[in-house]
Chains A and B, each alone.
Chain A
Amino acid sequence: MTGPVALKAAYIVTWVILLGYLGSLFRRFRRVREEMKDLKRGG
């Protein structure tokens, strides 16, 4: 692995992890909100 390739790989990995984590948080938010709505609807 050469220097420039390593640099690009490290930056891509960093952003994939951070954005992936943020995405997972939003998915979990949506699921919890839907669950909340179902609970309210159920009584």
Chain B
Amino acid sequence: MKQLFIAFVVLTLGLLAFSTYQALFVAPTEQTMGDVQRIFYYHVPSAWTAGVCFFVNFLASVVYLWKRNLASDALAAASAEVGVTFCTIVLITGPIWARPVWGIWWTWDARLTTTLVLWLIYVSYLVLRRFSAGGQTQVLAAALAIFGFVDVPIVYMSIRWFRTQHPSPVMGGGENSGLDPAMLHAFFWNLAAFTCVGVVLMVVRYRLQMLEEKVEATHAAAALQGDSR
């Protein structure tokens, strides 16, 4: 299992190197925006990976409420933290792109606002897990995760439902949407690379969570032994 994971990490590193090369040197320069458009190759895959992580968090939370097993709770914790990391990248790279293109860093447009709300929901989830005391923390966190996930499809649909400042969908947005094939090629390589990075981080964070649970259980057992003496 460990060797399989190491092979996957090596594959991810190779993919990252290739996709970065594709994004920076192979993909054609966009005519109106110029080189700043290349942020798209990091920004959108980061948003996609955050969405995948929040979906894993949603599934793991449902399984936890159903089965009450430690592994699904650990996976929920891991996926939420990795999702917040990628969502943070989205919220920082977006304004860096917006400043030269729109002339402003931020606007309260539907996509930007719903993404910020999404980030706040999952930061609240992590804060709840970190600081809540008592035996109901995992149940409360799972419930929050299930309600919080409602915002993910809202973020995705926001640029379809409301035509505000954020660019309209590049793919699946109707007749006038689409990318140059060379750009599409670079985009899919980056999408694959970022998804793999997300998986690697989730696996590492999951193993850490399981180890932390083990240490906590050992501490609890030692305390009980001390009490009974």
Contact = CB atoms under 8 A, between A and B. Distances in A.
Interface string A1-26: 11110110111011001100110010
B89 interface: yes
A41 B204 CA distance: 26
Interface of B: 33-36, 38-39, 42-43, 46, 82, 85, 88-89, 92-93, 96-97, 99-100, 197, 201, 204-205, 208, 211-212, 214-215, 218-219, 222
A9 B96 contact: yes
Given A7-B35, A29-B211, A14 B201 contact: no
13 contacts: A3-B35, A3-B36, A10-B39, A10-B43, A10-B93, A10-B97, A17-B88, A22-B204, A28-B212, A29-B211, A33-B211, A35-B215, A42-B222
B208 A28 contact: yes
A1 B222 contact: no
Given A13-B96, A39-B219, 17 more contacts: A2-B100, A6-B36, A6-B39, A7-B36, A9-B96, A10-B92, A10-B96, A13-B89, A17-B89, A18-B89, A18-B201, A21-B85, A22-B204, A28-B212, A33-B211, A35-B215, A39-B215
Q: What 9 pairs across the A-B complex have the smallest Cβ distances? A: A3-B36, A10-B93, A10-B39, A10-B96, A3-B34, A1-B99, A21-B85, A32-B211, A6-B36
A12 to B, nearest CB: 10
Interface of A: 1-4, 6-7, 9-11, 13-14, 17-18, 21-22, 25, 28-29, 32-33, 35-36, 39, 42-43
Contacts of A11: 39, 42
A31 to B, nearest CB: 9
Given A14-B93, A39-B215, A6 B201 contact: no
A14 B197 CA distance: 12
A9 B34 CA distance: 15
A17 to B, nearest CB: 5
B205 to A, nearest CB: 6
B204 A25 contact: yes
